[in-house]
Chain A
Amino acid sequence: MACAMPSTRMSAEASLAGATEVLRLAGLSVSFATVAGSVSAAEEVNLRVVRGECLGVVGESGAGKSVSFLAFLGLLPPNARVAGSAQFCGAELLGAGVRALDRLRGAAIGMVFQDPMTSLTPHLAVGEQIAEVIVRHRALPWAAARERAEALLRRVQVTDPARRMRQYPHELSGGMRQRVMIAIALACEPKLLIADEPTTSLDVTIQAQILALLAQLKREEGMAMVLITHDLGAVAGVADRVAVMRGGRVIETGTVGVILKDPREAYTRALIDSAPRLDPEPVTPRDAKPERPLALALTGVSMEFPVATRGFGRAARLSALSNVSFELHAGESLGVVGESGCGKSTLARAALQLLKPTSGRVVWMGAALGELAAGQLRALRKDLQIIFQDPLGSLDPRLIVAEIVAEPLRVHARELTPDARAGEVAAALARVGLPARLAGRYPHELSGGECQRVGIARAMILKPRLLVCDEPVSALDTPTQQQIVALLADLKRESGLTLVFVSHNLALVRRLCERVLVLYLGRMMELAPAGALYARPLHPYTRELLAAVPIPDPDLQPARLARALPGEPPSPLNPPSGCIYRTRCPHALAVCREQVPAWERAAEAHRVACHLWREL
């Protein structure tokens, strides 16, 4: 009887709010029946979203964010058990029939998922895919639906929508695909848009564009929105309220200002602290001993790939890297930053001779790597190691962790006895913070962060002198990213590694690197000590990259998003004349069209390729 009072008050409140309340999850619990018994994925989740509001749902992977909303949409696999209540505009969705749900999904409720490539049908032109949703839910004739689809593409700021209508998903960039997904979600003017990690697989610049688009749509269409993400920076620019989830429970909700500035929970505080920041506190250049020996030198390195053209035409040459030069002293760390397709991964591979540069020289400790015999180069690989972007894909699926980590020893330290090798492996695993019990596991049994630690252990077991990291954390969620970066920083400090760290996010590079090289379409734009680069970037592109980094500050982030750099890099097959960046540069002048800017020395150790760096 005691509980009658609050429950009547609740229902009164619900009916009052009923007019505007779009989504309500009440006591929602989800568990999965597995061979090992029942596994709880979400417990007692209570959330509500009203019209015109954006709720940000944040937490690490496995916190139950996606699961809760998939349960709401009735999209969980058959072994899931759902209890509680999930209402859409006052109607209960749990236990609703498939047909009732189908009428809502894609119509009144729009959805955007993380991977736009797998969410689009590969063999249908994108225009058809958008029109299909309209035909299905609105019963419009195809011609009218296609017209509306084109209008939608324009609405989500797709360039040249008439042509895009006829293109297939693989012909579009990741950012364009995500815009198409948003257009599909908007096709029937939904009351609620659920975006599940919509920007995680994208570059920072494109992330900012997509987030800005979502913020604008929310403002102009007045629909309710749920933004599920592990990135607090994404939430800061778009969400009105934030719910923090951990271990399947909502541990804290509040307005974005309260949560991000004055959180109650220590966990939220830790999440905020783990988000990348830009305030100038870069790595102090290590002991300013002037005479550190030259370790790695690239001189005029260029890389071209032949590209098949249609018909019998001559193969075109795609210039992935053009005339890149830098010198790196022993123990120094260099960040290489740019958008996808800027040649940063090619640079990482060229430096290690995993790809042979078309021209230019790579010199490591006085030896020109390109002139070595294959056997000599293999022997030298002991000192030159790399960590890859895809933590799982870079590990052989048929080997267990211990074998993967032991592989370098089998190649370069054959004299070791099996026992000594096992000892080395155990030490390497301990060094990267992996428990010994994981040694017998296969890669697919590990989390992304654990896989990446295995990759690091494999790279570090021979105590290399150069470590190249190719986007080592972009596949991981923010807290794990920070752990991996911290681990790399530790390893670097202890072993005096020379480090090349490739990333699309300037904020990640800041913690690790003393110098930063900014690439655009395979050309060097700016090379500077980290302190100078973050405090006073000279190249307009560097400024845009800095502006695109999502920061968890609800006061600044909306304005930063509104200024997001428009457009995407032009095709490297047909690069612009003069300054290659001019097509996206807000300051471009006539001279930029005509002349390639010189690689000028702006200050000691600070170089830039821009006609206008003095004026800006």
Chain B
Amino acid sequence: MSEALAAARGGRWRAAGRRLAAGTATRVAMVVLALITLLALVGPFFSPWQFDQLDWQHLALPPGRLAAHWFGTDRLGRDLFVRTLYGVRVSLLISVLATLVSLVIGVAWGAVAGFAGGRTDGWMMRFVDVLYSLPYLFIVIILTTLFQRGSIRVLLVAIGAVGWLTTARIVRGETLALKRREFIEAARALGVSPAGILVRHIVPNLLGPVAVYATLTIPQMIIFEGFLSFLGLGVQEPKASLGNLINVGAQEMQSAPWMLLTPAAFLVMLLICLNLLGDGLRDALDPHER
């Protein structure tokens, strides 16, 4: 009996997965996303160049001219193929980790505030409001100047510290709606402790909307990281991220357009795929479709 139950237990997520894979756009998005990730992880090994290695013979080489530099080189003769993939890797790493950080803090904060209600809720959410009202760029600038500029760890903290605020608000709203549902009252009537209700009944029911929100947050984080790098607050040369590659590329737009177009193409593909995946996930987890 318990095996059958275990099978049925996973059924909801598996059914959602089947629905997710049923959409053509979502399926294409998942495949492209997987390919880009794979390429970012193993691609640089197939090139003889390092991301910070200079090739004095070929400065600002357009793509397709030389077998050694598939995407061409930049003004310093660094290989753009390696640098772009390296940038994708850094951008994905920062955005996924920052999303996770903001989810963990945001879900915990929002669920506790919404479930506790009353004065606790008031104070917790006022705290969020105060952080919201501080100009976030200001916080990031302070953080990055106080600590090591361009450190990925500091960037993570900075982006995550801003990102969890919205998550907390969304989760709190969902929790307030869930709390009024009769099955929560049923759990109270059974003698389940408040912590038990939170862990066993509230948080699992939040996972659907949160999973959707997460896939839509990752692209935002990529853009935010790109924006910070563009301002010179993010990942620093010679390290690469999509943001600072685009920043450098934009300066050379007229003389060497490929320096902008290559990283921009990857950024656009990533964003489109993640957004499509988020939309697909929302549809797959939509309770009305069940």
The answer to whether B8 touches A400 (Cβ under 8 A) is: yes
Q: What band does the interface of chain A fall in when counting residues whose beta carbon is under 8 Å from B?
A: 35 or more
Is B187's beta carbon under 8 Å from chain A? yes
Q: What 0/1 pattern do residues 370 to 396 of A give for CB contact below 8 A with B? A: 000000011111101110111001111
Complex CA gap A30/B5 in Å reads 36
Is A523's beta carbon under 8 Å from chain B? no
Is B131's beta carbon under 8 Å from chain A? no
- Which B-chain residue is minimally distant from A444 (CB atoms)? B290
Complex CA gap A385/B8 in Å reads 28
A397-B205 contact in complex given A388-B185, A408-B190, A411-B192, C-beta closer than 8 Å: yes
The answer to whether A400 touches B190 (Cβ under 8 A) is: no
Task: Tell which of B2, B12, B191, B287 touches A422, judged by Cβ atoms closer than 8 Å.
Answer: B2
Task: Tell which of B2, B9, B185 touches A354, judged by Cβ atoms closer than 8 Å.
Answer: B185
Q: What 0/1 pattern do residues 172 to 207 of B give for CB contact below 8 A with A? A: 000000000111011111111100100001001100
Is A578's beta carbon under 8 Å from chain B? no
Task: Tell which of A352, A389, A393 touches B183, judged by Cβ atoms closer than 8 Å.
Answer: A393
A398-B189 contact in complex given A422-B2, A440-B5, C-beta closer than 8 Å: no
Which of A381, A398, A422, A441 is most buried by chain B, counting CB atoms within 10 A of its CB? A398
Residues of A within 8 A of B42 (CB): none
Complex CA gap A395/B193 in Å reads 17
A354-B290 contact in complex given A411-B196, A439-B1, C-beta closer than 8 Å: no
Number of interface residues of B (CB under 8 A): 27
Is A458's beta carbon under 8 Å from chain B? yes
Complex CA gap A440/B4 in Å reads 7
Residues of B within 8 A of A407 (CB): 187, 190, 192
Complex CA gap A396/B7 in Å reads 18
Task: Tell which of B181, B186, B191, B201 touches A379, judged by Cβ atoms closer than 8 Å.
Answer: B191
The answer to whether A412 touches B185 (Cβ under 8 A) is: no
The answer to whether B182 touches A378 (Cβ under 8 A) is: no
The answer to whether B12 touches A378 (Cβ under 8 A) is: no
The answer to whether B187 touches A418 (Cβ under 8 A) is: no
The answer to whether A396 touches B183 (Cβ under 8 A) is: yes
The answer to whether A394 touches B8 (Cβ under 8 A) is: no
The answer to whether A400 touches B188 (Cβ under 8 A) is: no
Q: What 0/1 pattern do residues 398 to 413 of A give for CB contact below 8 A with B? A: 1010110001100110
- Which A-chain residue is minimally distant from B202 (CB atoms)? A396
Residues of B within 8 A of A436 (CB): 1
The answer to whether B205 touches A393 (Cβ under 8 A) is: no
Is A509's beta carbon under 8 Å from chain B? no
- Which A-chain residue is minimally distant from B201 (CB atoms)? A396
Complex CA gap A386/B186 in Å reads 8
A441-B205 contact in complex given A386-B186, A386-B189, A393-B181, C-beta closer than 8 Å: no
Complex CA gap A441/B11 in Å reads 9
The answer to whether B185 touches A400 (Cβ under 8 A) is: no
Could you list 19 A-B pairs, sorted by A, with CB under 8 Å? A378-B193, A380-B191, A381-B191, A385-B189, A386-B186, A388-B182, A390-B182, A395-B186, A396-B187, A397-B183, A398-B204, A398-B205, A400-B8, A408-B190, A411-B192, A422-B1, A439-B5, A440-B4, A442-B12
Given A398-B205, A440-B4, A440-B8, output 10 extra A-B contacts at Cβ < 8 Å: A354-B188, A385-B190, A389-B182, A394-B182, A394-B183, A403-B9, A408-B191, A411-B190, A439-B5, A441-B8
